[in-house]
Amino acid sequence: MSEQRGAPEWRLETSLVHAGERAAAPRATPTATPIYTATAYLYPSMAELDAAFATGEGYLYTRYGNPTVAALEAAVASAEAARGAVAYGSGMAALHAALLAAATPRGETTSRPGRILAARDLYGSTTVLLDEFFMARGARVAYADLCDPDAAAAAIAEFQPEVVLLEQISNPLLRVADVATIAAHCRSVGARLVVDSTIATPVLQRPLALGADLVVHSATKYLAGHGDTAGGVVAARTGLLHATLVRQARLLGATLGPFEAQQILRGIKTLALRVERQCSSAARVATFLAGHPAVARVHYPGLPGHPQHALAVAAFGGRFGALVSFELAEGGAAVGRFADRLRLFLPATTLGDLYSLVSVPAMASHRELSPDQRAERGITDGLVRLSVGIEAPEDLLADLEQALGESG
Ligand SMILES: *Cc1c(COP(=O)(O)O)cnc(C)c1O
């Protein structure tokens, strides 16, 4: 529009609706991305609007693209060394989108239910998504221990999947996968590798550089980081997969809103600082727990006894993540009392916040699994998962000490 609409002869009701809106964008660039709430965009003429539709360039309608969401997508694409990224309303929407895109044959627009090989150790809802949603649509789903290199190679060769899905680092037992080796196995059978990197974050590892095809984040966790925003992001290694994600997101509509996008973009600015601090505090927590008589077993990739410790040392540049899981010596009976006695760790069903958190996977994240499925995955009733926050590590250790001391 060459000049602002708003004729002085308009009646009050009309001016109330239009006055002040649609000023030209300021010539000076704001230092931080504004929150663009507009659902649609204006062009100077119908011819230019038509051209925007024809080329797909420029903003038209918020589900097709929004400048605030695009800023977040650019930040994640940069963090993951991706060709592009697409943001969604939650981590589960992002996982759904990643699996659909990965199952879309090259050159086609719709996904085909195919063969999905998934890691046995997955976020609880992800297992349910595969079993209830993808299987019902005709996909064949198999599970294997993808943190065991021999088992991973055998399962990929035998099952000949179209899509392989794993979590780096796995939840809640914090196992580590060899992404580069699995990506090579995937290439040899033409499978696409999807890595849920919510827990590792790009601070520890960038899976696309190791040959993964798509990286998924529940942005609700470390990317946003402040326990106040839900979202998800998928980053793609190739332009083709990015284009598939964009097309399917427009159609399925699980896109992220601009307010959430701004909060997550803001969170990402301190991601490295938070994660470094959280990892170093988690290492102290793990060492403390490993030496405590009330603790039977600690799961933490930074401890020498962890089954993939050597791989984690080589892969993560000296950090091992900010989650620590452990089993109380007294088992499930002592879990409630221990968690109730904690004063600083919050008993909330999430992870990755700047607050320290405690959860009981059998009660929370893995509740929807059957007792058999939990047993198969090594998730005992006495398993406790800590998500270490940015507080002073001394205060965290003191809180654990008092809660464990009295739980005996
Ligand atoms: C939380 C989480 C999800 C799901 O994300 P939402 O934002 O809750 O939908 C998926 N994967 C992992 C590893 C998670 O921790």
Residue with tokens 């030209």: 24
Residues 6+ away with beta carbon under 8 Å from 235: 76, 77, 79, 80, 82, 84, 85, 208, 214, 215, 217
Taking 3-state DSSP, the helix, strand and coil percentages for the chain, each rounded to the nearest 5, stand at: 40, 15, 45
Out of 237, 268, 299, a domain closes at 268
Pair 105, 132 in one domain: yes
Instruction: Decide if 128 is inside a domain.
Output: yes
pLDDT (tens digit per residue) in 193-235: 999 999 999 999 999 999 999 999 999 999 999 999 999 999 9
Residue 170 in contact with ligand 1 by CB distance below 6 A: no
pLDDT at site 406: 54
Question: Domain residues for 138?
Answer: 62-268
As annotated, the active-site residues are 63, 123, 196, 221
Pair 153, 185 in one domain: yes
Closest Cα to atom 7, ligand 1: which residue?
A: 91
Residue 220 in contact with ligand 1 by CB distance below 6 A: yes
Pair 168, 98 in one domain: yes
**Cα(361) to centroid(ligand 1), Å:** 13
Closest Cα to atom 1, ligand 1: which residue?
A: 218
Instruction: Decide if 48 is inside a domain.
Output: no
Torsion, CA 41, CA 47, CA 51, CA 54, rounded to 10: 100
pLDDT at site 371: 85
pLDDT less than 50: residues of the chain? 1-3, 407-408
Instruction: Decide if 313 is inside a domain.
Output: yes
Residue 97 in contact with ligand 1 by CB distance below 6 A: no
Pair 131, 232 in one domain: yes
Pair 202, 255 in one domain: yes
pLDDT at site 7: 65
Closest Cα to atom 5, ligand 1: which residue?
A: 91
Out of 250, 268, 286, a domain closes at 268
User: What are φ and ψ of residue 87, in 5° steps?
Assistant: -100, 145
Q: For strand 115-119 and strand 163-167, is the pairing parallel, antiparallel, or unpaired?
A: parallel
For the domain that residue 88 is a member of, what is the CATH number? 3.40.640.10
Q: Which two tokens stand for residue 181?
A: 């080796």
pLDDT (tens digit per residue) in 96-131: 999 999 998 887 877 877 899 999 989 989 999 999
pLDDT at site 2: 42
Instruction: Decide if 40 is inside a domain.
Output: no
Q: Is 147 exposed, middle or buried (0-12, 13-18, 19+ CB in 10 A)?
A: buried
Pair 127, 248 in one domain: yes
Pair 106, 233 in one domain: yes
Pair 261, 348 in one domain: no
Residues 6+ away with beta carbon under 8 Å from 150: none
Give the CA diameter of the chain.
82
Count of structural domains, the chain:
2
Pair 190, 302 in one domain: no
Residue 199 in contact with ligand 1 by CB distance below 6 A: yes
Out of 219, 247, 268, a domain closes at 268
Pair 196, 317 in one domain: no
For the domain that residue 379 is a member of, what is the CATH number? 3.90.1150.10
Pair 205, 314 in one domain: no
Q: How far apart are CA 227 and CA 211, in angstroms?
A: 31
Pair 226, 348 in one domain: no
